[in-house]
Structure 1
Amino acid sequence: MSSSGKRVLITGGTRGIGRAIAQTLSPTHDLLIGGRDDASVKQTCAALRSAEPFVADLADEDATRAAAESVGDLDAVVHSAGVLGHGPVTSLDRADWRHTMELNVVAVADLTRLLLPALRRAHGTVVVINSGAGLTARADTALYAASKFAVRAFADSLREQEREHGVRVTSIYPGRVDTDMQRELIESGGQHYVGSNYIRPESIAAAVRLAVEMSADASVDDLSVRPGPR
C-alpha cells in the first residue's frame, strides 16, 4: 500500500504499545518515532517503511521544545510514552509524585501545546493512550491513577477547546496489556507473569488506527478496550 502522506508522531514508539502502533500505521503513514534513546529510536525507524527519529527526554522542557520545533507538518500525535508509578500512598514521596506527573501529564500537555499550530493547520488528531486506571482507582494505584485521571481531564478539556479548530482528541483506555510495564507491575506483587493472559499491544494499535483514520465527519472521543472472552 502507498502512503497516505499523513505524518504521525508516536511518543514511546520504541517499545510496547507505542512500537505496536508504529508497526500498524507504518504501511500507510509517515511516522516520527519518539523516544529518549537515540540508538533505540534509530533501530525502530530502520525497521519501518517511512519513519524519522524524534529523540527527546519529554521530562526536559528545553529538549521537548527543540524537538517539537523540528517537526514541521503533522497530522496526528499519539501520546504513548509514560511511566508506571505504583505502591501504597505511605511508600510514595514527593519525588515519586513529581516524576510520574511530569511524564504522564505535564509532558503530554506541553508537547501537545507545542504541536497544536501544525495540528490545527491539518485539522489533525491527538490520541492519548490512557488506562483503565484513568477510569477507576484501586488500592496501591493512587499515583498512577491520579496521573491518568489528570490526563483524562486534560484530553476532555482539549477536545472541547479544539472543536472550533477542527482538531479531534481521542482518549483510549486499555485494560491490562502484555507489555514490560505490565510485567513489572505483576512481578512486583510476587505473582508469575503470563503474557497470554493480557491484551496484545496490536489490539490497542488497531484502536489507535481507527481514531487516526476516522473520516472527517466523525470523531472517536473515548474508547475503552477490555480483554475479550477466553
Structure 2
Amino acid sequence: MGPMATHVITGAGSGIGAVVARRLHERGDHLVIVARDTGRAKELAGRFPGAETLVADLANPDRISWALGKQTMPEQVDSLLHIAGIVDLSPVAELRPPTWHQQLNTNLIAPAELTRLMLPQLRAVRGQVVFVNSGAGLNAHAEWGAYAAAKHGLKALADALRQEEHANGVRVTSVYPGRTASPMQAKIHSQEGKEYRPEGLIDPESVATTILTSLDLPRDAEINDVTVRAGS
C-alpha cells in the first residue's frame, strides 16, 4: 500500500473490525467506514477523526446501491475490508426463512454487492479485497448451518472474484479466524450455554496483524487463504 492508502471497512464498530480500523487509523491511512445508519456513522466518525463514512445497511443488500447512489463514493479504494458479520445458532430443524435470509444477506450478499460497487475504484489502483471469513467457512458444525452456509458462500465469492480480477491486478484474500475474543463470541457462548472466557480465545489484535500483513505484502505475492487458530 502506498502513501495515504484508503480503506473501505465494514464492521469497524466492534471486535476484529474495530482493531483493524484503529491500527490503520493510527498509521495514518484513510478510513471510509460503512455504517448501518447515520447515528452509527456519526459515532464511528467521532472515534476515528478524519475518517469518512458511508451509510448502508448490510442487512438489506437490495438497497445498498440505492443508498450509496445518494452519497459521495470514495474516488480511491486501495482496500475493501469485509469484516462485519452476524451469527445466529439454530438447528436446521428450527431454521426458518427469515433467519436464512438474515444470515445470507449480511454475511454474503451484502459483501458481494459492496464489492461490485467498489470494483471500478479497486481496479484503478490494483487494490485488494479482504474477506474476514470464519472457521465455519471451511467446516460446518451442528447448529451452525445458516452461518456456515453463508461463510462457505463467502469463500466461493472470494475464490471466483480472485480468478476474475487477477488480470486486473486486484488481490483477494480470505482470512479464517478461529474463535476470537469479541462481542460476537460472547453472544455465541451465551447461545451455546457456555461461560465466555476470552483468555482462551484468539486476541483480535492477532487477527488484525494477519489482515495488515496481507495488505502490506509486496506486489509480487498474494495471500489467498490464511487460517488463524488459537495458539498455546
Report the TM-score when normalising by structure 1: 0.93
Of residues 192, 206, 215, the one that matches 2:195 is 192
Is 1:142 the counterpart of 2:141? The answer is no
Aligned to 2:16: 17
Between the aligned partners of 1:60 and 1:158, the Cα distance in structure 2 is 18
Moved over 6 A (4+): none
- Report the 3-state secondary structure (helix = DSSP H, G, I; strand = E; otherwise coil) of the residue aligned with 1:90: helix
Is 1:123 the counterpart of 2:107? The answer is no
Checking the alignment, whether the CA contact within 8 Å between 1:29 and 1:50 is kept in structure 2 is no
- Report the 3-state secondary structure (helix = DSSP H, G, I; strand = E; otherwise coil) of the residue aligned with 1:82: coil
Of residues 154, 172, 175, the one that matches 1:172 is 175
Between the aligned partners of 1:213 and 1:65, the Cα distance in structure 2 is 33
Report the TM-score when normalising by structure 2: 0.93
Structure 2 unaligned spans of 5+: none
RMSD across aligned C-alpha pairs, in angstroms? 1.6
What letter is aligned with 2:145?
Answer: A
Is 1:31 the counterpart of 2:34? The answer is no
Between the aligned partners of 2:66 and 2:177, the Cα distance in structure 1 is 29
Checking the alignment, whether the CA contact within 8 Å between 1:14 and 1:33 is kept in structure 2 is no
Aligned to 1:217: 220
Instruction: Tell me the matched-pair count.
Output: 227
Checking the alignment, whether the CA contact within 8 Å between 2:64 and 2:113 is kept in structure 1 is no
Alpha-carbon offset, residue 65 of structure 1 = 4.3
Give the fraction of aligned pairs with identical amino acids, expressed as a percent.
37
Alpha-carbon offset, residue 143 of structure 1 = 0.8
Cα shift readout 1:79-112 (whole Å, capped 9, x = no counterpart): 0111102111011001111111111111111110
- Report the 3-state secondary structure (helix = DSSP H, G, I; strand = E; otherwise coil) of the residue aligned with 1:223: strand
Alpha-carbon offset, residue 41 of structure 1 = 2.9
What letter is aligned with 1:204?
Answer: V
Between the aligned partners of 2:171 and 2:50, the Cα distance in structure 1 is 24
Aligned to 1:163: 166
Between the aligned partners of 1:28 and 1:166, the Cα distance in structure 2 is 24
